[in-house]
C-alpha cells in the first residue's frame, strides 16, 4: 500500500489542486468530531502530535507516541472509523523540547523520539532540527540543521526496517523538512515582522539536504521527502491574524514549480478564511496544519452551552464550565502566564478568547472534564425546554443545521459541530468539489 500523502502528491502532478489538512490536537472531543466528519466522506485523515505533546517522557499530555496512537485508535473504534484511514503525523520532531541541553544529549533524545514514532506507526514525520542547542554557536548554520535532520531520518529508516520484519507490506513513512515557522501554537508577538520565506532559502534547504543524503549514502531515500515547511506569510497571535496574501508569496510559490516532487507545508494556518486556505493549496501549500483553532472552536461550543445552562438550569445545579475553567487556569498559570500580557483585565479576557487558545492545555484535567460532562448532562435534561430562538441566539450555525435536518439535537454533537465547522473550511480548501 502506498502512503496516501504520496498519492496526494501524484494527483497534484496530474493537475488536481488538492491538499491535506493536518489536524494537530490531542483533545478527545475534537478528534471524535474530526473522525466523524471524515467518516461521512470516506476520507483519510491526518492527525498529528507535536514533540511538546508526545515524547518518550510523556510530553504535556503524558503520552508517548505509542500511547498517542492507541488513544487516537480508541476514539476511532468508538465512532467506527477505520484505523487504516488514519495517518499519524509527528510534528516538530527533533530537539525542540531539549534545546536547553548539549547537542549530544539532545540529539540522543531526538533519535529515540523519531524511532518510537516510526515503530508506533507514524507515517508522516516532520524532522525539525532548526533550534539552537545549549553548546551550539550563536548562529546555527543550514549545514548543521541538515546534518542533524539527516541523522534523524536515518534513525527513522532503521525503525522502518524493523517494522518490515513483522509486516512486509508496512507503509513507508514520508518526511517533511524545513522549519521556517514560529514556535508551535502561534506567535507570542503579533507586532513582530512576518517575512515570507525567500525562494533562494527554500532552494538552499533542498540543495543542502540532498547533499547530506548523498554524504550519508541514503540518496535513495530522497524520494521519501515530500514537503518543506516554509513561512508563506500566515500567522496568528493573541489578538491578530495575518491572512494569506498570495501576491507576497508569489516568488516563493513560483520557485516551487521547479520541484514537482515537493509541496509546501504551511503551519499556523489557524483562523484563515476558507478562501485564503484554498488559495494556499492552489499555490502549492498543500499541507495545511491547524491546531489551536480546533479547540478554540470547541471552547466556543462549550461556552454557548454554558450560556443556555445559565438561562434554564437552577444556579445550584449548574456545571459552571466557564467559571470552573477560569478558576483552574488561575490556580495553575504555567500554561498561559508567559503568553498573555497587559492588565489583569486584559489577561482575564485573553484566558477566554485569545487566538493562542492556551485554555486547551487544561481540557484534560479532571476538574474540567468533570465540568464538561456535567454540562452535557444538564443540557440533555432540559433539551425539550430549549426554545428554538435561544438555540439560534447562542448556536446560530447549529440551529440552521438542525432546522434543515442536517444535525440531530444531541448535546455532544452540538459541541462537536463547532469543530466540524472548522474542519469544513479545510475540506473546502483541500478537496475537489467538496461543497458540491
Q: 29-32 — which CB contacts under 8 Å span 24+ positions? A: 29/298, 29/372, 29/412, 29/415, 29/416, 29/419, 30/294, 30/295, 30/298, 30/416, 30/419, 31/72, 31/75, 32/75, 32/78, 32/79, 32/416
DSSP code of 54? B
Angle between helices 292-312 and 28-41 (to 10 degrees): 110
Indicate the helix (H) or strand (E) that contains 76. helix 65-78
Answer yes or no: is pLDDT of 182 > 90.
Answer: no
Annotate 367-422 with DSSP letters as a single string. HHHHHHHHHHHHHHHTGGG--HHHHHHH-HHHHHHHHTTSS---HHHHHHHHHHHH
| Other beta carbons less than 10 A from residue 383's beta carbon | 14
Q: Would you state the torsion angle of the CA atoms of residues 414, 38, 177, 257, taken in this order, to the nearest 10 degrees?
A: -110
Please write the tens of the pLDDT for every residue from 350-377: 999 999 999 999 999 999 999 999 999 9
User: 47-98, pLDDT tens digit by residue?
Assistant: 999 999 999 999 999 999 999 999 999 999 999 999 999 999 999 999 999 9
pLDDT recorded at residue 166: 96
The reported pLDDT for the residue numbered 434 is 56
The residues facing 127 across adjacent strands are 93
**What are the pLDDT digits (tens) for 217-232?**
999 999 999 999 999 9
Q: Is the pLDDT of residue 302 over 80?
A: yes
CA neighbor of 423 nearest in space, from 62, 41, 72: 41
Q: What is the pLDDT of residues 97-147, one digit of tens each?
A: 999 999 999 999 999 999 999 999 999 999 999 999 999 999 999 999 999
Give the H/E segment covering residue 366: helix 366-381
CA nearest 306: which of 374, 252, 238, 209?
374
For residues 367 and 328, is the Cβ–Cβ distance under 8 A?
yes
Q: Residue 62 corresponds to which cell in the numbers above?
A: 503524558
Instruction: Please name the residue that has the C-alpha cell 515530500.
Output: 226
Which pLDDT score, from 0 to 100, does residue 436 have? 45
Helices (H), 124-260: 142-166, 199-215, 250-256
Residue 179 CB contacts under 8 Å (≥ 6 apart), including other chains: 92, 126, 128, 129, 130, 229
Judged against a pLDDT cut of 70, whether residue 189 lies above it is answered with no
Count other C-beta atoms under 10 Å from residue 396's C-beta: 11
pLDDT value, residue 191: 46
pLDDT, position 188 = 44
Strand partners, 358: none
Give the count of beta carbons closer than 10 Å to the beta carbon of residue 415.
27
pLDDT at 34 over 50: yes
Q: What does the mean pLDDT of the chain come to?
A: 95
pLDDT at residue 193, as a whole number:
64
281/126 Cα distance (integer angstroms): 19
Residue 425 has pLDDT above 60, yes or no: yes
C-alpha grid cell, residue 398: 447549529
Rounded CA separation 56/270 (Å): 28
How many C-beta atoms surround the C-beta of residue 102 within 10 A? Answer: 13
Measure Cα distances from 65 to 105, 117, 285 in Å.
20, 5, 27
pLDDT digit string, tens, across residues 286-301? 999 999 999 999 999 9
Q: Is the pLDDT of residue 432 over 90?
A: no
Q: Which residue has the cell 515557522?
A: 181
Amino acid at each position: 500500500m502506498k502512503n496516501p500523502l504520496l498519492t496526494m502528491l501524484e494527483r497534484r502532478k496530474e493537475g488536481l489542486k488538492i491538499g491535506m489538512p493536518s489536524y494537530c490536537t490531542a483533545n478527545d472531543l475534537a478528534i471524535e468530531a474530526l473522525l466523524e466528519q471524515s467518516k461521512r466522506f470516506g476520507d483519510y485523515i491526518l492527525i498529528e502530535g507535536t514533540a511538546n505533546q508526545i515524547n518518550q517522557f510523556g510530553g504535556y499530555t503524558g503520552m508517548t507516541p505509542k500511547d498517542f496512537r492507541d488513544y487516537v485508535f480508541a476514539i476511532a473504534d468508538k465512532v467506527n472509523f477505520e484505523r487504516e484511514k488514519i495517518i499519524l503525523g509527528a510534528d516538530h520532531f527533533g530537539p525542540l523540547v531539549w534545546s536547553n541541553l548539549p547537542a549530544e544529549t539532545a540529539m540522543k533524545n531526538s533519535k529515540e523520539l523519531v524511532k518510537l514514532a516510526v515503530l508506533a506507526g507514524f507515517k508522516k514525520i516532520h524532522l525539525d532540527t532548526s533550534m539552537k542547542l545549549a553548546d551550539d554557536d550563536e548562529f546555527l548554520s543550514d549545514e548543521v540543521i541538515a546534518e542533524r535532520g539527516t541523522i534523524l531520518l536515518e534513525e527513522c529508516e532503521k525503525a522502518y526496517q524493523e517494522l518490515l520484519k513483522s509486516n512486509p507490506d508496512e507503509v513507508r513513512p514520508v518526511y517533511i523538512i524545513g522549519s521556517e515557522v514560529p514556535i508551535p501554537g502561534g506567535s507570542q508577538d503579533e507586532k513582530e515582522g512576518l517575512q515570507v520565506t525567500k525562494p533562494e532559502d527554500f532552494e538552499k534547504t533542498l540543495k543542502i539536504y540532498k547533499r547530506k543524503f548523498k554524504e550519508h549514502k541514503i540518496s535513495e531515500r530522497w524520494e521519501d521527502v515530500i514537503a518543506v515547511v516554509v513561512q508563506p506569510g500566515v500567522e496568528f497571535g493573541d489578538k491578530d491574524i495575518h491572512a494569506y496574501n498570495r501576491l507576497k508569496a508569489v516568488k516563493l510559490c513560483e520557485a516551487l514549480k521547479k520541484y514537482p516532487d515537493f509541496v509546501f507545508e504551511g503551519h499556523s494556518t489557524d483562523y484563515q478564511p476558507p478562501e485564503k486556505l484554498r488559495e494556499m493549496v492552489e499555490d502549492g501549500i498543500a499541507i495545511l496544519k491547524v491546531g489551536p483553532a480546533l479547540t478554540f472552536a470547541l471552547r466556543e461550543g462549550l461556552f454557548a452551552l454554558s450560556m443556555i445552562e445559565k438561562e434554564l438550569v437552577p444556579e445550584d445545579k449548574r456545571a459552571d464550565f466557564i467559571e470552573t475553567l477560569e478558576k483552574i487556569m488561575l490556580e495553575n498559570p504555567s500554561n498561559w502566564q508567559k503568553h498573555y500580557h497587559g492588565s489583569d483585565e486584559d489577561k482575564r479576557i485573553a484566558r477566554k478568547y485569545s487566538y493562542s487558545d492556551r485554555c486547551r492545555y487544561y481540557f484534560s484535567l479532571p476538574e474540567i472534564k468533570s465540568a464538561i460532562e456535567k454540562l452535557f448532562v444538564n443540557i440533555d435534561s432540559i433539551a425539550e425546554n430549549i426554545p428554538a430562538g435561544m438555540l439560534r441566539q447562542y448556536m446560530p450555525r447549529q440551529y440552521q443545521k438542525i432546522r434543515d435536518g442536517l444535525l440531530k439535537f444531541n448535546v455532544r454533537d452540538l459541541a462537536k459541530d463547532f469543530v466540524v465547522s472548522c474542519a469544513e473550511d479545510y475540506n473546502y480548501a483541500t478537496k475537489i468539489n467538496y461543497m458540491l
